[in-house]
Amino acid sequence: MTSQSQGIQQLLQAEKRAKDKLEEAKKRKGKRLKQAKEEATAEIDHYRLQREKEFRNKETNVMGSQGNFSAKIEEQTTEAIQNLTSSYHRNMESMMKKLLSTICDISPEIHPNFRPAV
């Protein structure tokens, strides 16, 4: 009977060791899954940053050229406004004299198509 009791004790101890090993394996598995998840997140973040950097570079290349166009257009517009303003100031006096002379200097004449009534 003692040998049977010892056999049961050995089986219980073996079952306990197996249960402990199983729990330890589950803990290691959980720890490894957590570590793998963290590594994957870090890799995804790195990839995302790399792609965003490439996108920003392409965007600045495209938008930079558009920025140059808008700067050129702005410069041309400013130059045109300055030219018109200077032309206005140069010609204002002579145009005012022409307008006033046309309006004020009236010489009454008979229209060439007028036929006197006979």
Angle of CA points 93, 97, 103, to nearest 5°: 145
Angle of CA points 24, 29, 30, to nearest 5°: 100
Query: Residue 52's pLDDT is what?
Result: 96
Q: In the predicted model, is pLDDT for residue 25 greater than 80?
A: yes
CA distance 26 to 14: 18
Q: Is the pTM of this model over 0.85?
A: no
**pLDDT (average), residues 45-57:** 95
Q: In the predicted model, is pLDDT for residue 67 greater than 70?
A: no
Query: Residue 98's pLDDT is what?
Result: 93
CA 27 to chain centre: 46
| Cα dist from 74 to 14, 59, 68, 71, 115, whole Å | 87, 22, 10, 5, 61
Q: In the predicted model, is pLDDT for residue 51 greater than 90?
A: yes
Mean pLDDT over the full length of the chain: 90
Q: In the predicted model, is pLDDT for residue 118 greater than 70?
A: no
For residue 63, how many C-alpha atoms fall within 13 Å in the half-sphere facing its CB?
6
Q: In the predicted model, is pLDDT for residue 107 greater than 90?
A: no
